[in-house]
């Protein structure tokens, strides 16, 4: 066959194969156009899951009559004009391929009116980019795009559509995700003439909270911390859920870069690392996060549907995200959790190694000694009162001890079943899992000691020679100082050979060859690796677990209060190393409800 140009409509249908996967893909492209048009209200009408009708109406700036044919033509846009524009895109759409692609696989009508125009103008399109004949219309200022009978002329693709309910579920989820990116825009969604939701626009904290609660559930607001973190030209804001408020699926994770919802491996890796040792196994964190950065530092033209981006300084972004979330979670000490949950938590950025290093050393924490005789509850209360009441007070005081000044976790009253500490606070009572809490205290102390000293290394009696690819050998040579900081001595001995001569002493007898290969693979793919850090932490966590107070071991009042004070000063104290909660609070209001007081 001779080489020949493809028909325009077929070209657009090929493009539609990338842009239009299902009805929700059409909705995404059209709503993004409404964003770029400066809309403050977007109405979305769906019928039969989008297969029958997708109608998007906005109050944006509109399109002048003369530009309507161009709007329905390939690679025609008002959003970029030069290569420099492409390298710092701020608009949601910019390729100019969505409308002609959609019109090549559906019956599309475009109606638009600009400010001051005598009337609106309407055109229909079939993807051929010819025979445009604008007709006057009574449409108000703004734009409506009516898409009917999706894939009517490509029956093979129509067969791939799922049920009406499934396709609409995708559309509803998409619009909710997009609504989280623009609080300044109102969204109204109907399906088969039934209103599904109507979100009002507003930039106050009240409006934002209401929208978050509508989309993510009110419990998310109650169980999340507000983030506001700035450094190196990067800004991270939003909400992250407490480690104890997690899900079995990754269905409540929303991440936006300059207002664009994205999926990115680097971002996922940073978030995963931040939650590494506070999340229960098999659980996933919840978050709504917004990253703002110079548009020239992120390539949004890396994916046809613009769902993925490419950061030009990937390691910087990764370390920034990790530090912001890691410090926010670390700062959730009892006093912050009880008093500031839901308020802004602002931190100053402290540059860290991509993989915090740890030094060997023994804990200074005194392991509680077994008491000779367990204290009874009465003796516990007496001891508690004697030790912690003010000098001017006495046991005859009628004022409850907790009202004379109480720290966040209060003072111990009893050791229930030799497992749980019962403490009284000014607001109610606290229950602490002794082993879990002591395990976290010990673990954080070990990590801190390891970070503050030089990493002890262990020279290998017989150096390990690894055959790797030339790219991996070059990477190992380039990152020699990075490996040295982590306690590894690695030298390149040939085009495709590296030699491992020493390792961190803490790693012991693990498979060092596999570890190095995995680290090189991580850095190649993600620009960063945390495997060495993870291995070190796993060993420290094991040490902490075996060092922690065991269940069925009676503690004295002094020992319990010492642990409570340690907890108040320990990062990530809300969970043990395995992600289990370490303490809970029951307020006096909670207690009153149990006994129907005040009802």
Alpha carbon 412 to its chain's center: 37
3-state secondary structure of 331: coil
Question: What pLDDT is attached to residue 508?
Answer: 65
Residue pair 338/583 in contact (Cβ under 8 Å)? The answer is no
Distance CA 234, CA 419 (A): 45
| pLDDT tens readout for residues 272-299 | 888 888 887 788 999 999 999 998 898 8
In a domain, 204, yes or no: no
In a domain, 207, yes or no: no
Task: Tell which of 348, 363, 378 closes a domain.
Answer: 348
Q: What phi and psi, each to the nearest 5 degrees, are found at residue 330?
A: -65, -30
Top mean-pLDDT range of 5-9, 16-20, 149-153, 362-366: 149-153
How confident is the model over 379-407, as a mean pLDDT? Answer: 44
Residue 159 has pLDDT above 60, yes or no: yes
Instruction: Single out the residue of 455, 355, 423, 392 nearest to residue 585, CA to CA.
Output: 423
3-state secondary structure of 242: coil
Question: What pLDDT is attached to residue 40?
Answer: 97
Alpha carbon 277 to its chain's center: 16
Cβ-based neighbours of 407, under 8 Å, separated by 6 or more: 335, 564, 565, 568
In a domain, 397, yes or no: yes
Residue 349 has pLDDT above 50, yes or no: no
Same domain, 335 and 357: no
Same domain, 582 and 518: yes
In a domain, 331, yes or no: yes
CATH number at residue 254: 3.30.230.10
Same domain, 342 and 365: no
Q: For residue 438, how many C-alpha atoms fall within 13 Å in the half-sphere facing its CB? A: 26
Cβ-based neighbours of 39, under 8 Å, separated by 6 or more: 58, 59, 60, 142, 185
Same domain, 177 and 242: no
Q: How many domains does the chain have?
A: 3
pLDDT band at residue 384 using 50, 70 and 90 as cut-offs: very low
Distance CA 239, CA 256 (A): 12
3-state secondary structure of 316: helix
Same domain, 56 and 129: yes
Residue pair 433/581 in contact (Cβ under 8 Å)? The answer is yes
41-47 vs 186-191, strand pairing mode: parallel
How confident is the model over 315-334, as a mean pLDDT? Answer: 87
Residue pair 484/468 in contact (Cβ under 8 Å)? The answer is no
Position with higher pLDDT, 31 vs 514 = 31
Lowest mean pLDDT among 342-351, 383-392, 446-455: 342-351
Number of neighbours of residue 391 by Cβ within 10 angstroms: 5
Question: What pLDDT is attached to residue 127?
Answer: 74
Cβ-based neighbours of 369, under 8 Å, separated by 6 or more: none
SS (H, E, C) 102-132: HHCCCEEEEEEECCCCCCEEEEEECCCCCCC
3-state secondary structure of 525: helix
Same domain, 397 and 532: yes
Q: Return the structure tokens found at 116.
A: 């001051």
Indicate the length of the chain as a whole number: 599
In a domain, 2, yes or no: no
Lowest mean pLDDT among 11-15, 183-187, 242-246, 458-462: 11-15
SS (H, E, C) 440-490: HHHHHHHHHHHHHCCCCEEEEEEEEEEECCHHHHHHHHHCHHHHHHCCCEE
CATH number at residue 141: 3.30.565.10
Position with higher pLDDT, 509 vs 178 = 178
How confident is the model over 202-225, as a mean pLDDT? Answer: 89
Lowest mean pLDDT among 39-48, 431-440, 518-527, 555-564: 518-527
Question: What pLDDT is attached to residue 301?
Answer: 74
Same domain, 65 and 31: yes
Instruction: Single out the residue of 486, 574, 579, 589 nearest to residue 528, CA to CA.
Output: 486
Top mean-pLDDT range of 148-157, 188-197, 363-372, 536-545: 188-197
Q: Return the structure tokens found at 509.
A: 């007898």
In a domain, 292, yes or no: yes
Task: Tell which of 319, 348, 377 closes a domain.
Answer: 348
Task: Tell which of 137, 166, 199 closes a domain.
Answer: 199
DSSP category for residue 157: H
Residue 122 has pLDDT above 50, yes or no: yes
Structural element, H or E, at residue 280: none
Burial class (CB in 10 A: 0-12, 13-18, 19+), 128: middle
pLDDT band at residue 363 using 50, 70 and 90 as cut-offs: very low
pLDDT band at residue 551 using 50, 70 and 90 as cut-offs: low
Same domain, 446 and 586: yes
**Strand-pair partners of 145:** 56, 110
Same domain, 508 and 580: yes
Residue 2 has pLDDT above 70, yes or no: yes
Top mean-pLDDT range of 205-214, 399-408, 503-512: 205-214
| pLDDT tens readout for residues 454-479 | 556 788 888 999 999 998 899 889 88
Residue pair 108/102 in contact (Cβ under 8 Å)? The answer is yes
Lowest mean pLDDT among 202-211, 339-348, 509-518: 339-348
Same domain, 224 and 365: no
Domain that holds residue 135: 8-199
Residue pair 504/512 in contact (Cβ under 8 Å)? The answer is no
In a domain, 210, yes or no: no
Q: How many percent of the chain have pLDDT more than 90?
A: 39
CATH number at residue 367: 3.30.1540.20
Residue pair 317/266 in contact (Cβ under 8 Å)? The answer is yes
Position with higher pLDDT, 369 vs 218 = 218
Average pLDDT, the chain: 81
Same domain, 365 and 342: no
Residue pair 531/486 in contact (Cβ under 8 Å)? The answer is no
In a domain, 209, yes or no: no
Phi/psi zone of residue 195: left (φ > 0), alpha (ψ -120 to 50 degrees), beta?
beta
Residue 192 has pLDDT above 50, yes or no: yes
Top mean-pLDDT range of 38-47, 96-105, 358-367, 414-423: 38-47
Question: What pLDDT is attached to residue 481?
Answer: 80
b/e code 413-448 from CB counts within 10 Å (16+ = b): bbbeeebbbbbbbebbbbbbbbbbbbbbbbbbbbbb
3-state secondary structure of 588: helix
Q: How far apart are the first and last CA of the chain?
A: 87
Same domain, 357 and 493: yes
Residue 392 has pLDDT above 90, yes or no: no
Residue 356 has pLDDT above 50, yes or no: no
């Amino acid at each position: 066959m001779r080489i020949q140009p493809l028909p325009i409509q077929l070209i657009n249908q090929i493009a539609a194969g990338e842009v239009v996967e299902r009805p929700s893909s059409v909705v995404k492209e059209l709503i993004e156009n409404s964003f770029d048009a400066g809309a403050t209200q977007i109405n979305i009408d769906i019928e039969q899951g989008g297969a029958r009708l997708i109608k998007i109406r906005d109050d944006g700036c509109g399109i002048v009559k003369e530009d309507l044919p161009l709007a329905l033509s390939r690679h025609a846009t008002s959003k970029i004009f030069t290569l420099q524009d492409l390298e710092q895109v701020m608009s949601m759409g910019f390729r100019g391929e969505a409308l002609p692609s959609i019109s090549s696989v559906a019956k599309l009508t475009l109606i638009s009116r600009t400010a001051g125009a005598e009337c609106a103008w309407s055109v229909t399109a079939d993807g051929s980019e010819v025979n445009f004949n604008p007709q006057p219309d009574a449409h108000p200022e703004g734009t409506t795009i009516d898409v009917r009978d999706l894939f009517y002329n490509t029956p093979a693709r129509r067969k791939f559509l799922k049920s009406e309910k499934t396709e609409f579920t995708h559309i509803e989820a998409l619009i909710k995700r997009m609504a989280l990116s623009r609080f300044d825009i109102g969204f109204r969604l109907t399906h088969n003439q039934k209103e599904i939701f109507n979100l009002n626009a507003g930039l106050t904290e009240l409006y934002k909270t209401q929208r978050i609660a509508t989309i993510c559930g009110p419990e998310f607001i109650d169980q999340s911390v507000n983030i506001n973190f700035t450094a190196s030209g990067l800004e991270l804001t939003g909400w992250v859920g407490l480690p104890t408020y997690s899900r079995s699926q990754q269905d409540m994770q929303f991440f936006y870069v300059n207002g664009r919802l994205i999926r990115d491996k680097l971002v996922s890796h940073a978030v995963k690392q931040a939650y590494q040792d506070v999340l229960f196994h098999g659980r996933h964190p919840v978050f709504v996060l917004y990253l703002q950065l110079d548009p020239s530092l992120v390539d949004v033209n890396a994916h046809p549907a613009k769902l993925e981006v490419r950061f030009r300084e990937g390691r910087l972004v990764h370390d920034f995200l990790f530090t912001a979330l890691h410090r926010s979670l670390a700062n959730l000490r009892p006093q912050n959790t009880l008093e500031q949950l839901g308020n802004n938590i602002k931190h100053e950025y402290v540059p860290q190694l991509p993989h915090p290093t740890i030094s060997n050393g023994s804990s200074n924490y005194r392991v509680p000694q077994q008491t000779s005789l367990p204290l009874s509850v009465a003796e516990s209360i007496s001891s508690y009162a004697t030790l912690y009441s003010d000098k001017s007070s006495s046991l005859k005081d009628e004022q409850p001890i907790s009202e004379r000044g109480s720290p966040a976790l209060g003072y111990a009253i009893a050791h229930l079943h030799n497992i749980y500490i019962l403490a009284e606070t000014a607001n109610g009572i606290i229950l602490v899992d002794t082993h879990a809490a002591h395990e976290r205290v010990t673990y954080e102390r070990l990590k801190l000691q390891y970070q503050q000293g030089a990493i002890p290394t262990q020279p290998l009696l017989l150096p390990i020679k690894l055959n790797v690819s030339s790219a991996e050998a070059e990477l190992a040579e380039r990152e020699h100082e990075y490996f040295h900081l982590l306690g590894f001595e690695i030298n390149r001995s040939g085009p495709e050979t590296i030699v491992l001569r020493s390792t961190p002493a803490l790693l012991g007898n693990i498979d060092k060859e596999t570890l190095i290969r995995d680290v090189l693979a991580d850095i190649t793919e993600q620009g960063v690796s945390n495997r060495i850090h993870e291995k070190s932490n796993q060993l420290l966590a094991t040490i902490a677990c075996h060092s922690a107070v065991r269940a069925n071991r009676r503690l004295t009042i002094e020992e319990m209060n010492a642990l409570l004070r340690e907890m108040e000063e320990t990062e990530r104290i809300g969970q043990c190393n395995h992600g289990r909660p370490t303490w809970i609070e029951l307020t006096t209001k909670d207690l009153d409800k149990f006994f129907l007081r005040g009802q």
